[in-house]
């Protein structure tokens, strides 16, 4: 016989404890352990794939036939890029992002794109009524008859509707609102999220249909609920961007069927999200001419080179400890690069406040942006602008050397395509390829040499 007993589960990380504690030992958060009733004991369970108790026999890996996973290509190229070429049938995809960032808008647009390809789509909303969804659909221009909308939060009813309609694509918005009746916890709790996601995973694999589920995020920006949620799904996508800016960035942090390095860029407009086919041109269109502290770097986002402006502002401090602030890059890299400039170049920055920003709301995390950040800081400190048609690429070492970076050819080609006349790159990257004819490539070995080339003087 199954028995019911209580235990305390952390709503942040899923840590389980037989008694209540004020501080969770798993994530060190206070007052996150909530009492939940669970069912224990053995129950007879069948095979979910066949409905019987016969399990599959193990096969030799050499006897398994290799085949490409079939994909559904949507009409949104940026989403196809992030997913690795399209939506894989039978996959479970989790998409998260801040409230109001555009997750529901994106998924409703994807649903409409698939429905226009004669694919039955079921959009299940647990946060909006069907009339509210219809209002948003009218704004986005959704007109397909093969897009079905359901306002439901009961997992049993959702499963019944999927079995009856037999759609080829399902959206759950959001997983925190769905609940199972046989689980006593409240909707959105760790137990409910885990059990409902497991049920959706079984539906996706059994019926070979892709399911997209929306997940809320915590104040730190991570997916709310247990970390197990991200391990269960096939792909995890994050929708990023400032609510007060028009650009949105879709990143893949997990993908069993493709790369996790690519990103898709969208622009939020009144009629919905529009793809940004040339993000470099968009990020550079408002760049000030002749301004000190501004440089351009060619950064790689997966397989796509993106040219972004990096701005720096250096001003004398009025405090005992100078401030070091960074937006869009790792804040620890700013004091590191400033220390290199002080020690290897001789710039007296120890009594200067430093503010570094990546324009456009983009987040860059690769070492190839080091040289552009260092030149921006030196340019602002000297109040001497660099050339407008320069693009800077390179990693800066602690001894002041400029180290080689990957995919230099694609970066320089993107810069030449946008009209830049000179690329300052690591000298080690000059070997083994031929640069375009309409751009000058200059190799540098040290930060001192790079400053000489870009700013002149000593």
3-state secondary structure of 271: coil
**With contact defined as beta carbons under 8 Å apart, do 129 and 137 qualify?**
no
Q: Is 361 annotated as a binding residue?
A: no
**CA-to-CA distance for 311 and 326, rounded, in angstroms?**
10
Q: Is 188 annotated as a binding residue?
A: no
Contacts of 34 (CB under 8 A, 6+ apart): 8, 9, 10, 11, 189
Q: Is 346 annotated as a binding residue?
A: no
**With contact defined as beta carbons under 8 Å apart, do 273 and 241 qualify?**
no
Q: Is 436 annotated as a binding residue?
A: no
> How many residues are recorded in the chain?
458
Q: Is 97 annotated as a binding residue?
A: yes
Q: Is 104 annotated as a binding residue?
A: yes
User: How far does Cα 347 stand from its chain's mean position?
Assistant: 37
| CA dist list (Å): 163 to 147, 168, 177, 240, 383 | 16, 11, 21, 34, 67
Q: Which long-range contacts (CB under 8 A, 24 or more apart) does 225-229 make?
A: 225/11, 225/14, 225/175, 225/176, 225/188, 225/190, 225/193, 225/194, 226/13, 226/14, 226/190, 226/193, 226/194, 227/13, 227/14, 228/14, 228/194, 229/94, 229/175, 229/193, 229/194, 229/197
3-state secondary structure of 296: strand
Q: What token pair was written down for 166?
A: 């037999």
Q: What token pair was written down for 360?
A: 């456009």
Q: What token pair was written down for 337?
A: 């690069």
Q: What token pair was written down for 170?
A: 């399902």
Count Cβ neighbours within 10 Å for each residue of 353-382 and write b for 16 or more, e otherwise: bbbbbbbbbbebeebbbbbbbbbbbbbbbb
Q: Is 99 annotated as a binding residue?
A: yes
3-state secondary structure of 395: strand
Looking only at the bridges linking them, the beta strands covering 121-125 and 92-97 are unpaired
**CA-to-CA distance for 84 and 71, rounded, in angstroms?**
9
Q: Is 98 annotated as a binding residue?
A: yes
Instruction: Please report which helix (H) or strand (E) contains residue 159, including its range.
Output: helix 155-165
Contacts of 260 (CB under 8 A, 6+ apart): 252, 253, 254
Please enumerate, by residue number, every residue annotated as part of a binding site for ATP.
97-104
Annotated binding-site residue numbers: 97-104
């Amino acid at each position: 016989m199954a028995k019911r007993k209580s235990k305390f589960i952390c709503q942040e990380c899923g840590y389980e404890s037989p008694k209540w504690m004020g501080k969770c030992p798993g994530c060190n958060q206070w007052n996150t352990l909530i009492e939940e009733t669970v069912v224990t004991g053995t129950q007879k369970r069948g095979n979910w794939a066949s409905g019987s108790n016969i399990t599959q026999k193990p096969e030799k890996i050499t006897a398994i036939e290799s085949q490409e996973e079939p994909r559904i290509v949507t009409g949104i190229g940026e989403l196809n890029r992030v997913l690795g070429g399209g939506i894989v049938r039978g996959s479970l995809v989790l998409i998260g992002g801040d409230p109001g960032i555009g997750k529901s808008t994106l998924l409703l647009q994807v649903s409409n794109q698939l429905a226009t390809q004669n694919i039955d789509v079921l959009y299940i909303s647990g946060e909006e009524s069907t009339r509210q969804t219809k209002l948003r659909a009218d704004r986005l221009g959704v007109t397909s008859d093969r897009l079905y909308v359901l306002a439901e939060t009961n997992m049993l009813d959702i499963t019944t509707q999927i079995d009856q309609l037999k759609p080829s694509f399902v959206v759950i918005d959001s997983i925190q609102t769905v609940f199972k009746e046989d689980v006593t916890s409240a909707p959105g709790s760790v137990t409910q999220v885990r059990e409902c996601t497991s049920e959706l995973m079984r539906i996706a694999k059994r019926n070979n249909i892709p399911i997209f589920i929306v997940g809320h995020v915590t104040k730190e920006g991570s997916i709310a609920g247990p970390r197990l949620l991200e391990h269960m799904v096939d792909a995890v996508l994050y929708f990023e961007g400032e609510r007060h800016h028009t650009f949105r960035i879709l990143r893949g942090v997990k993908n069993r069927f493709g790369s996790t390095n690519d990103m898709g860029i969208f622009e939020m407009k009144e009629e919905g999200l529009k793809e940004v086919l040339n993000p470099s041109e968009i990020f550079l269109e408002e760049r000030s001419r002749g301004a000190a502290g501004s440089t351009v770097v060619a950064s790689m986002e997966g397989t796509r080179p993106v040219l972004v402006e990096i701005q720096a502002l250096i001003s004398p401090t009025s405090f005992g400890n100078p401030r070091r602030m960074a937006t869009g890059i790792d804040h620890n890299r700013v004091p590191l690069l400033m220390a290199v400039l002080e020690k290897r170049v001789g710039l007296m920055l120890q009594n200067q406040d430093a503010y570094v920003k990546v324009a456009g709301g983009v987040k860059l995390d690769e070492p190839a942006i080091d040289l552009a950040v260092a030149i921006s800081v030196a340019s602002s400190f000297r109040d001497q602008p660099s050339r407008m048609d320069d693009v800077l690429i390179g990693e800066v070492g602690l001894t002041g050397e400029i180290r080689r970076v990957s995919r230099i050819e694609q970066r320089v080609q993107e810069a030449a395509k946008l009209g830049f006349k000179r690329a300052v790159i690591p000298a080690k990257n000059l070997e083994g390829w031929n640069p375009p004819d309409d751009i000058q490539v200059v190799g540098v070995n040290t930060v001192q040499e790079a400053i000489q080339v870009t700013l002149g003087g000593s």
